[in-house]
């Protein structure tokens, strides 16, 4: 039932999917849907909430664990691990990710909720890492906030364009490598600087 709804929302959008369609796809009656979730709105939340929890909590958990367990990790290795890890998670949950991205565009409340959630979870965990790499001289001399902002903007574009815009099912190692290299050195010629 959640699965059927997720797929439909992912491909058509929440607003363009009727409860009749969901019932048909899930092989239950419309009544059953509303018995379980009360309203179409709460059905959407039932889909998004567990994903949001995992998305941020797993992300920060992995990052913290990694940064403490392996002190010789270079920035490049860290980025590679991090991006590969999130790419795998999003590929597995690509339908829910599509729903989340599409609905964040349409739904102000949801957008604000996600923004608040992200603001509360991401900086505390990642500022630490950024400063660690800055201390080792591996990172450009920019405020931690700026670094996170730049990386988030690029990685947001990266994942959304692949999974949502291009409707991809996964991301290849080559693409990840490209992303890592871009984050590390931009597109300017290093030797020329």
Partner DNA sequence: GATGAATGAGATTTCATTCAT
Partner DNA sequence: CATGAATGAAATCTCATTCAT
Residues that bind DNA (CB under 7 A): 16-20, 28-36, 38-41
Judged by CB under 8 A, the chain residues 70 through 89 that form the site for a second copy are: 75-76
Residues 16-55 that bind a second copy (CB under 8 A): 16
Q: Is 118 in the site for a second copy (CB under 8 A)?
A: no
The CA distance from 32 to 75, in Å, is: 51
Give least dist CB 11 to a second copy, A.
8
The window from 45-53, 65-73, 85-93, 139-147 that contacts a second copy (CB under 8 A) reads 139-147
**CA atoms of 151 and 101, how far apart (whole Å):** 18
Contact criterion met (CB below 8 Å) for 136 and 76: no
Candidates 131, 175, 132; CA nearest to 154 is 175
Rule CB under 8 A: is residue 116 a binding residue for a second copy? no
State the sign of the Cα–Cα–Cα–Cα dihedral 61, 52, 90, 138: negative
Tallying the residues shown for the chain, one arrives at 193
Kindly indicate which of the ranges 44-52, 80-88, 121-129, 181-189 contains the residues binding a second copy, using the contact rule CB under 8 A: 181-189
Closest CA to 78 of 86, 20, 109: 86
Would you tell me which residues interact with a second copy (CB under 8 A)?
11-13, 15-16, 75-76, 101-102, 104-106, 108, 111, 115, 137-142, 146-147, 149-151, 153-158, 160-161, 164-165, 178, 182-190, 192-193
């Amino acid at each position: 039932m959640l699965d059927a709804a997720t797929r439909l929302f992912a491909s058509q959008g929440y607003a363009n999917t009727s409860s009749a369609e969901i019932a048909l796809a899930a092989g239950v009656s419309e009544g059953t849907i509303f018995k379980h979730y009360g309203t179409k709105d709460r059905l959407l939340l039932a889909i998004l909430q567990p994903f949001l929890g995992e998305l941020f909590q797993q992300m920060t958990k992995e990052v913290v664990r990694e940064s403490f367990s392996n002190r010789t990790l270079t920035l490049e290795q860290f980025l590679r691990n991090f991006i590969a890890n999130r790419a795998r998670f999003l590929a597995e949950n690509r339908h829910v990710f599509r729903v989340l991205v599409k609905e964040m565009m349409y739904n102000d409340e949801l957008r604000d909720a996600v923004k608040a959630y992200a603001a509360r979870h991401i900086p505390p965990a990642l500022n630490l890492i950024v400063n660690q790499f800055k201390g080792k001289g591996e990172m450009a001399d920019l405020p931690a906030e700026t670094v996170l902002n730049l990386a988030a903007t690029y990685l947001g574009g990266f994942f959304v364009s692949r999974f949502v815009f291009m409707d991809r099912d996964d991301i290849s190692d080559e693409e990840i490598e490209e992303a890592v290299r871009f984050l590390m050195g931009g597109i300017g010629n290093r030797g020329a600087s």
